[in-house]
Chain A
């Protein structure tokens, strides 16, 4: 266990002086800032829409915010996954890393966990930013904590499949451009995939769209697929990485 902790700490040190940490903070702040401007300018209009008649202000904020965040989070997570593996390729340090007396599977798992932790931090900051935006706009209703917690939990489930998927490609393909492009094309097409429930279940890029709590949509099934795919690609990644020859 201590060995794994040291590996994880080593991974954190590798990204310490990169732009990754500022991205963790700036991405939710940027998305939150845009939602703030959006609702500041259009709150009355949105509140007056017939489609929003039964929604409270927090639900409206979350819907508006989600249609930015479902692109922001997966795109940035794609960059994280690619970068963390790219760092080894860039400095030709795979040989050194893998010649350490630790199992390859632990090395892979530490990298996966780091991406997950960074995503977790982003999701946490995003939740905080949403609450602050609502407070700033002085919504008449009290903070809808169950909604915010449900949204946070859904995101944690939805993003896990994408993390496993992107880590799998980033470890397998030496060329970072390819793993990044696969991710970017996937995220750009996620809205299209999400239109079909069957496709949405099977394609990790679409899972994030189902993170928005909505009683009229069956989020649970898609998000369960998210966890299933996360586990599947995590195990596939570990197996492929363990067998991979590092020259």
Chain B
């Protein structure tokens, strides 16, 4: 497994995916910071915590739009490494267990998304320091993006499975975008719990919504869905014919 992970990481060495996952969240932080500075009095006029306002301004569009579509891009990219050069046949004919390839690629995909989240957190802290936000950094700023990552695990698994299943990039991208945008609407209703695409939004911005009363349940459902989707994808992957 370790060898396969090393190979998978090596494949990314000269790719641009690392730039994509690190620069994209920074851009959202710059946007959030600029927005906060622009409407500073409006957002902080009633004594609100400036760190929390910076967090909210940067997170709203990041977690609602960018994160889910970035997950699509990352998962599609990992599968495309094999699809583009039609190297599945060669890869899977090597004396390695298919299950390990399947697992290694998924772990790498999740790792890239986690890196994306960590860059976002560092970006938020850095931006706060640059604009001179005083006071201790609330735990919310450091932990809720990670909670969004955990809540997004079933989405990662589903888009990973779709990316492996369909050689064409449009399918996983289309599903990723198509299912993520309604989440913004559903997240504002009491039905959000039945739509897993809302989970990262609720985990990241939950305290801003009145309906986020079943927070802990989200992580349990996320875990169950992750295991279920991952297992189904695994069974399909180890049985599939590579032509």
Contacts and interface: CB of A to CB of B under 8 A. Distances in A.
A164 interface: no
B185 A34 contact: yes
Provide the main secondary structure of the chain B interface: helix
Interface stretch (B23-31, B122-130, B141-149, B234-242): B23-31
B207 to A, nearest CB: 22
Contacts of A184: 24, 65-66, 69-70, 73
Q: How large is the interface on A (under 10, 10 to 19, 20 to 34, 35 or more residues)?
A: 35 or more
A178 B31 contact: no
Given A71-B65, A177-B17, A192-B34, A79 B168 contact: no
Contact of A188 (B38, B66, B84): B66
A27 interface: yes
B65 A181 contact: no
Contact of B20 (A68, A177, A192): A177
A187 B77 CA distance: 20
Nearest to A186: B27
B97 to A, nearest CB: 28
Interface stretch (B43-51, B88-96, B172-180, B213-221): B172-180
A23 interface: yes
Nearest to A21: B170
B173 A192 contact: no
Interface of A: 18-20, 22-23, 26-27, 30-31, 34, 37-38, 68, 71-72, 75-76, 79, 82-83, 86, 89-90, 175-178, 180-181, 184-185, 187-189, 191-192, 195
Counting from the closest, the 6 A-B pairs by CB-CB distance are A19-B170, A188-B65, A188-B66, A19-B171, A184-B69, A181-B20
